Amino acid sequence: MTARIYLPTTVAGLAELLEARGLPASAERFVAPDDSEDGEYAALMAAAAASATLLDGGAGRRAVVVAEVDDEDAAVDLADVVAVHADPEDRPAGADPDDDLAWYATQEVPHLL
């Protein structure tokens, strides 16, 4: 069964994802409790909050990588990525971590960098 996972990072972290062609199994991840829209949104927002902590209160852009994988605990290959959610522009230091993220298709990721 395929699982949809949400991996918190930053836009700078996306560059590392592209260079490495994936993320290690040790990368933090969130899994929706069910297939409902509410469950997926809850996982996305939990990952977005974790992404905000990666900015350590400073300015920058949060990002959440969405992947569909067979094993939710395994490494994530770049080919498993189905979308990215990211702040459309730099956020000021101390910005509200509950702000929604914009959705980007995988082919748009290079333009985020």
Reduce the DSSP state of residue 50 to 3 states and report it: helix
Indicate the pairing of strand 30-31 with strand 76-77: unpaired
pTM for the whole structure: 0.90
Instruction: Report if residue 111 sits inside a domain.
Output: no
| Count of the separate structural domains present in the chain | 1
For residues 112 and 11, the answer to whether their CB atoms sit within 8 Å is yes
Indicate the pairing of strand 62-69 with strand 76-77: unpaired
Give the CA radius of gyration of the chain.
Answer: 13
Instruction: Report if residue 66 sits inside a domain.
Output: yes
CA distance 22 to 101: 21
Instruction: Report if residue 112 sits inside a domain.
Output: no
CA distance 43 to 111: 25
- Residue 87 burial (CB count, 10 A): 22
Instruction: Report if residue 52 sits inside a domain.
Output: yes
By the 10 Å C-beta count (0-12 exposed, 13-18 middle, 19+ buried), 44 is classed as: buried
Over its length of 113 residues, how does the chain's per-residue pLDDT go in tens digits? 788 999 999 998 898 888 998 888 888 999 988 888 999 999 999 999 999 889 887 888 999 999 999 999 999 999 999 999 998 888 777 777 667 889 999 999 888 88
Instruction: Report if residue 26 sits inside a domain.
Output: yes
